[in-house]
Chain A
Amino acid sequence: MAKAPALTAGFELPLEPRLPRIGSVDQVAVEERAASLARRSIKRDAKVFALELAVRCMDLTTLEGADTPGKVAALATKGIRPDPSDPDVPSVAAICVYPNLVPTAVDRTRGTSVKVASVATAFPSGQSPTEIKVQETRAAVEFGADEIDMVIDRGAFLSGRYAKVYDEIVRVKDVCGDTHLKVILETGELGTYDNVRRASLLAVAGGADFIKTSTGKVSPAATLPVTLVMLEAIRDVYEETGRMVGMKAAGGIRSAKQAWQQFVLVNETLGPDWLTPELFRLGASSLLNDVLMQLRKEKTGRYQSLDYFTID
């Protein structure tokens, strides 16, 4: 699994001297730019490429209190072979589950290219003591997770305790070791695009391999303007330090069209080299079937019905 290299000097805290460079974001302009990119017309083989990419970049997710080994086993099977009737459809990038379900997920994906991502750090609220969050992360890693999706402490962020937010990320990253870390900003709670940009840069400074929009439990989640703001922050880091941090859009992405609109943003903000599961992921559950339906429509010329696709 790809791993971001060590931080270069100048990106650590304290952030105060760096604040003038963090910059602000104009809401109207960023929403207009995102809307304009969303109107790109993607057809035929460009569309098929995007649909297959959507599968390859997907973190197929179940994060419910009611999850059981049976549910996760079924999800893993779906993720490994999304469309049994079409062997050309690739596997998803990863299965994303709660820590207790990691052993089942690891077991069912063994020998395949599908990774196991685990949420941790008192997901989704993040409102627990740091020690607990670190321990939970360690447990998920020991269960065999390839990737950890942590949440930032929004309470600390919104009350200005940025150092606390930063420290937690550093400590979680530390126990991750080689395990790849995604940091969830929960953009729907941050209130402004300025805050999304600040949180993005803070997470990157703390050592994130990926920054992620949302837990999927709060709306709005991965809107196009939010993705754009995060991609621009990633671009700034890349230009200043050469470090490539990935981005995961999660929450509210239910249709194939929304998925490829996200890809257009990546393509035109960072470039086609970033259109790979190493650097971009979509966190979703019902999205997969919509993508499969669209793929089959491209291949057969007919609009599809859900009756012909398994739920899992």
Chain B
Amino acid sequence: MSRLPVKKTYKLYVGGAFPRSESGRSYEAEGHNVARASRKDLRDAVKAARGAFGKWSTMTAYNRGQVLYRIAEMLEARVADLARVTGGAEEVDRTVDRWVWYAGWADKLPQVLGGANPVAAPYFNFTVPEPTGVVGILAPEQPALAGLVSRLAPAIVSGNTAVVIASEARPLAAIELSEALATADVPGGVVNVLTGYKRELAPWLAGHMDVNALDLSGADGEAAELEQLAAENVKRVVRGSVDGQSPWEIERFLEMKTVWHPIGV
């Protein structure tokens, strides 16, 4: 007699916890009922992301790097689970290595992207990159896991927090990833993952006045409309590689701050 497995319930990941949608709705994807997030869930997610920003952005870069490395540690243990809901083990391996790659950037950004500027007056002048704040991400539909991580890791490594709208057709990878995040010492609210109908949720994310940047790498036809909405609070609109890695992906989510101070006795 074969054993009946216990089926997993796929919920949202908001504020470090796994709530159901406040709307009580779900939709079917990949053979499971997946939570169908509402605009109120999105509102709560942005609030959680904003709440987490203060602590995450002021942690030492070394600490953040270690947290990202631990995400890789937790994912490595789940390679078999993840392979089932993604393109396979190769995609998962690539994803784990991508977290490791980005983890190593946390404590190097000012050395590559910032620096002292030789102004022609007796001032010490330096430019430091800083995280922009809350980043809204429309995850690429494909590849479900590597695409999401290719957009998420560069956003949060520098101290931003994120609200992700997962792939609509393939949402399970995003929730499995969230389970790894929840056990990897990632403070609650740093990453928030919403599953549901992209066309329903994206406009609310694009128009939210407390979101600082919008990653449209996973947007399809509706991109122009979303960019219009983003203009209301001058969001930084970003499109990047759906399956690559580069420090310039990190830079898109940074603000450059330049400081002057006189040199004198």
Whether chain A touches chain B in the assembled complex (some CB pair under 8 Å): no
Taking beta carbons and an 8 Å cutoff, which residues of B are in contact with A? none
